[in-house]
Amino acid sequence: MSKADPRARLQSWGADLAIVLGSGLGSLAEEVGSGERVPYSEFPELPPPRVPGHGGQFGLGWIGGTKAIFAQGRVHLYEGHSAHAATAGIRILAECGVKRVILTNAAGTTNPAYAPGSWMMISDHLNLTGTTPLLGAPAFIDMTATYSREWRTQLAEAGNALGIPLHEGVYAGLLGPQYETPAEVRMLRHLGADAIGMSTVLEAIQARALGLEVAGFSCLTNWAAGVSDQHLSHEEVLTTGKAAAGDLARLLGAAFRNA
């Protein structure tokens, strides 16, 4: 197989599952032993990530008993990209046979009951980025059940069996790149957000437009501004994300062991 044909390399792996790994979570692919790597740079339409903690490659491996493609890192709107460019990875995955995608991210928690270091399954989202990857595309995609309830039930059962606590809640996706002010966090909490980040929502929209089944996980890496007295830093996000990646690897391995 030609190294110059990156799509064929992804397609030949034959995976219908993809896992997009957010800030500090790229080590999950190493934990489950992904094999061949296909750099994002081999896809002209896929910009390379410039944010620390985003590796910029697809890894081909297994999660439990299921073949998967691991997208190690993503690009963000705040890096200067359009919504279309920021979701190019999702379109590539769909073109290569993926039917199910798990979107992960690092997020600040606004919910006092959801402590940093834990995981939250995304039940719904608020797209507050001010844009969509569907501009110029067929309109009126139904977003009623963006995040699969059946999949959430399956993953929650796996978490319970392993003793890994899983919260469930609403993720607010913002433009960034600055962190939110305490006043903005209070507003978002009033709107129903349990976690806040700068990714995921556009990928979920694109995935649903392509007919993919979607699940989402937020690694709650820090209290959002004003929830505690601590100041925020990306280094803290990366450290907490790396520490929590093992729990997600165990959870997904159990959930897909017999899939």
Q: Which residues of 203-239 are buried (b: 16+ CB within 10 A; e: fewer)?
A: bbbbbbbbebbbbbbbbbbbbbbebeeeebebebbbe
Please indicate whether residue 76 is annotated as part of the active site.
Answer: yes
Whether the predicted model's global pTM rises above the 0.95 cut = no
Instruction: Give the integer Cα–Cα distance in Å for 121 and 104.
Output: 9
Please indicate whether residue 190 is annotated as part of the active site.
Answer: no
Of 23, 105, 111, 218, the active-site residue reads 23
Please tell me whether residue 58 adopts helix, strand or coil conformation.
Answer: strand
Hey, where are the domains in the chain? 6-255
- Segment 119-140 shows an average pLDDT of 94
Contact between 204 and 146 under an 8 Å Cβ cutoff? The reply is yes
Q: Is the pLDDT of residue 176 over 90?
A: yes
Q: The tokens 């309830």 sit on which residue? A: 149
Q: What superfamily in CATH does domain 6-255 come from?
A: Nucleoside phosphorylase domain (3.40.50.1580)
Of 27, 34, 68, 79, the active-site residue reads 79
Q: Is the pLDDT of residue 1 over 50?
A: no
Please indicate whether residue 125 is annotated as part of the active site.
Answer: no
Q: What is the DSSP letter of 225?
A: B
Instruction: Give the integer Cα–Cα distance in Å for 124 and 25.
Output: 21
% of the chain exceeding 70 in pLDDT? 89
